[in-house]
Chains A and B, each alone.
Chain A
Amino acid sequence: MPLSFLTRCIFLILFVSLTTYSFSQDTCTLTISGKVTDEHSGEVLEYASVLLKGTSIGTMVDSNGNYELTNLCPGEYIIQCSHIGCISIYDTITLTKSITLNFYPEHHTKELKATIIKSNTIIRPNIYTYQPDPLFERKDIPLQNKLKSTPSVSLAQTGARISKPMVWGLYGNRLGIVQDGVIINDQQWGQDHAPAIDNNARSASLLYHPLKYSSETSAGIIDIISNRPYSGKKSLGGIVNRYYSSNGKNIGSSFELNATLDSLKGFRFNLYGDYSRGGDLKAPHYYLTNTGAANFTLSTIIGYKPTIKSKWDFELGIKNIRRENGVLQAAHIGNITDLKNALNSDTPLIVKDFSYEINNPRQVLSHDVLRLSVTYFNSPENPKYGAFTKIDYAYQDNTRKEFDIRRAGREGIPALDLNLQTHYLQVNTTHPMYGSTTNQLKTKDIQYGFNLTDETNINNPNTGIRPLIPNYESIKGGIYFIQKFTSLKNELEYALRYETKYLRAIKYNYLNELNEYTYNFNLPAASINYTRLLSSNTSVYTRAFYGNRSPGVNELFSEGLHQSVASIEEGDTGLKKETSVKLNLGVEHQAGLNYLFKAELYAHTLNNYIQIEAEDELRQTIQGAFPVFKYKQTDALLLGASASFEYTGKKIDLNILYRYLQGQDLSNHTYLSFMPNNVIRANMRYNNIRSINADTKRWSFKRIYAGLSTETVFKQKNYPKEGIITPPPATYTLVDVNVSYPYEFGNKTKLSLEVTADNIFNTEYRDYMDRLRYFAALPGRNILFNLRYNF
């Protein structure tokens, strides 16, 4: 049913857009021409495309970076310049005479798998990438919530403020997060532990082949880029945001500054900071008591490259993240009797008036990163045949404190106090254009290197509570080799990796006896990606992945009570490694310049898949009876499909996506628990262009953007019937609306006001993937006012 609904939508939109946006052409003799060069290096960007949005007029630049659009009618256009690996540039022009327009896209150093065959035909990267909307980026929600524009991505939530990204139903240590070339090492022991990632992202891509970083992350890698390459040109720019959102009465600000100064030649700076403070959120009919939060991020990146042709490039990054989150007070319960009481009540058992106070239970975390990277390029004179060697070192310090409701004035003492320190080293060499060009199938690039991670996790013994996670140290080392071949219509890439991991943990058992455990895991991995161009606008791809994951520390050693779900969780020190074989098949079809269709099939088998399973036992303790959940291994099969459709018109952009996913527990002949629901998301944006009055020097009102998005999350029907506390919640649909009014003054400076309404109909809903769904609904309507200043 959903697919046929989707098909109908597509036809409807095709029909509407074709009838609305055809326009006649009369005295059409004007031209727009210019040159496209890299903002930083000044190099010509071959294969960039320039097109007029909403028309079929567009071209690729020639080998000198020049383009020309001819036979244009007078009128208003949005002109878009795109290059793979760059953020698209949009400009609005009122065409009355032929003009010259040059573009300077900002180019990533790390070029994502884009292969150019010949002009006008491109094997698209087939990678889902999130880039902040050039018109408006929300800073009031975490980065992972924005990645939902990728069909395979969903969220595992603990209330509205704590969320973890999932890819095709897998998360935690199956999904890696890399920021500026460094794996984020933080404490993700449970579903209620959100990753320490910040909102300073120029792009976030989902890499399907994680082998440069890990054998273990079978769900892939979220690759976040926040640093910028050296421009060689003087530049100073930034963005300041101030916002207020009504639900939770959040107040926040963020700033970003990018500078390359004449007085400090060769240096580049990226400063980013944000701060926000919010109080209790509100579901449609009641406050979610104790869901306040405070966030603080400060990130400084300083780069140094003496000249644009230098062989060396240095970068230093320092980042501090501080977070405090209240956990819904009604979710803090004693035993299964309390849980039953909570389930029998439609509203949370504790509801108080709005407050900014963050009381226990609450989480306080800090994440500090010190990153150094050195890049050596051996052939700046002849860049096509050189090799880059990059050395990244990072030190990360992650502290997690959890405060609980306790007796005898101990509320100020954390119930859990863990400190994780990580050293990370990676050395990577890339030969971008390796080998000869005479063969039909030529080697495009090779990459090889190694990475080492050393982790030490220590508990503060003064908590007065036996720790959930023991003290441990682990050392992990991996080597990898990646090679890519291309021919006229084919691209083939394979990657090999071997990783070894040593783990030593020491803990006290239930009877306070000290036990030591050591493990060694051998973790080989391999992947192969093949893309074939069927025609100039249709490509198909196949990706196969094989990898191994060692059991996580929580899976091996967890032991104790999980308060908010009133259950005892126990690890198993005998767990074996988990082996993945994954296959993705995809097709991408571009129709004209306006329509893009993508579809993907996904199959993933996990032998010895580690999951938490309900035991038959109801354990008697002095606190009452508790169900027991144990980490166990099973054979699992994940099957998924997604389809997305994008239309880019002159005034309207539209995209619709659908995702289906099913997880099967093959050993127990049932479904896997906690698999994301099927979903349809649709997003429409309208741009109304007004011409600029060149005579008035006042701020001129230029455009309105208005957006409408809907999300329908279907009821999860495939779940294990055993051990489920309460059936999954019903299907729900949310509608969000946003409007933006930008004012421009001068060439670059822009002030804009954005008003967004989330859940505009104040729908009451609970989500299967929200761990607090037993206790309360998710938030109702929220109105966000954001004032943004670009300079």
Chain B
Amino acid sequence: MKKILTLALVSSFLFTACGNDDDITPEPVNEQELITTVLVTFSPTAGGNDVIFMYKDMDGTGPNPPEITSGKLAANTMYNASVLLLNETKEENLTNPEYNITLEVAEEGAEHQLFYTLSNNPNLSFAYTDKDSNNKPIGLKAQAACGDASTGSLTITLRHKPNKSAAGVQNGDITNAGGETDVEVTFDVVIE
């Protein structure tokens, strides 16, 4: 029994001696795929001030609620809509691919598509104006046509690896798109 106790003491000393020296401090992880912000810019085709919709969630899947703002769109007006996807934890520079995730999505356009889904009947419609390498829409750019004054909501969804050949998908219908959702944000829409 005495032998055992001695052994126990010696080995526990050895263990703690080796154990405590370990440096387990992690290096910060460079989160390259995080998207913190979706910016939708509506530019009137006939000129005038841009209207900006913004969805911003700095803590990713964390508990802090997102910050959502949307401007008012003018009735019976045509807009060019463009979407920017940003990782605002990185250095702010639109040519920096770590900051401006849109660059990656555009580069892999054939594997991505954005969908503009409307609910509660706002008087609004979208038509894709960009193409991927297979001549199919990506949806980072679209033309938005506002009708008479109305309200409703707009959901913008980014799907990774959707089936762009499925029925309706090229026209912006998400029903048969499949794939995996990378972004899904909803804005209130007010057309005045």
Contacts and interface: CB of A to CB of B under 8 A. Distances in A.
A470 B61 contact: no
A621 B58 CA distance: 10
Contacts of A118: none
B61 A561 contact: yes
Contact of B4 (A450, A507, A511): A450
A410 interface: yes
A768 interface: no
A511 B58 contact: yes
Most buried by B among A423, A457, A621: A621
A335 B181 contact: yes
B61 A560 contact: yes
Interface string B177-190: 01111111100000
A512 B22 contact: no
Contacts of A472: 24
B15 A475 contact: yes
The DSSP consensus for interface residues of chain B is loop
Interface of A: 332-335, 337-338, 349-350, 389, 391, 405-408, 410, 423, 425, 427, 429, 448-450, 452, 454, 456-459, 461-467, 470-473, 475, 477, 479, 504-512, 514, 559-561, 568, 619-626
A407 B24 contact: no
Contacts of A449: 4
B11 A510 contact: no
A101 B26 CA distance: 66
Interface in B134-176: 157, 159-161
B178 A406 contact: no
B107 A465 contact: no
**Contact size class for B?**
35 or more
Interface string B49-93: 000000101111111111000000000000000000000010000
Contact of B24 (A410, A458, A620): A458
B32 A410 contact: yes
Given A335-B184, A620-B65, A407 B4 contact: no
Contacts of A389: 4
B61 A619 contact: yes
Given A338-B181, A452-B12, A510 B59 contact: yes
A334 B57 contact: no
Q: Per DSSP, are chain A's interface residues mostly helix, strand or loop, or mixed?
A: strand
Contact of B108 (A407, A470, A514, A622): A407
B8 A623 contact: no
B184 A334 contact: yes
B30 interface: yes
Nearest to A407: B104
A551 B181 CA distance: 33
A424 to B, nearest CB: 10
A345 B9 CA distance: 61
Contact of B26 (A423, A508, A559, A623): A508
Nearest to A423: B15
A514 B28 CA distance: 9
Contact of B31 (A457, A466, A626): A466
Given A407-B33, A511-B62, 20 more contacts: A333-B181, A334-B159, A335-B181, A407-B104, A407-B105, A407-B160, A408-B32, A408-B107, A423-B18, A427-B4, A427-B7, A461-B27, A464-B31, A465-B33, A473-B24, A511-B59, A512-B28, A621-B57, A622-B66, A623-B183
**Shortest 6 CB-CB contacts between residues of A and residues of B:** A334-B181, A510-B62, A624-B184, A461-B27, A510-B59, A471-B24
B116 to A, nearest CB: 15
A622 B38 contact: yes
Nearest to A568: B61
A514 B4 CA distance: 41
Contact of B61 (A406, A477, A621): A621
Nearest to B183: A622
A471 B30 CA distance: 16
B16 interface: yes
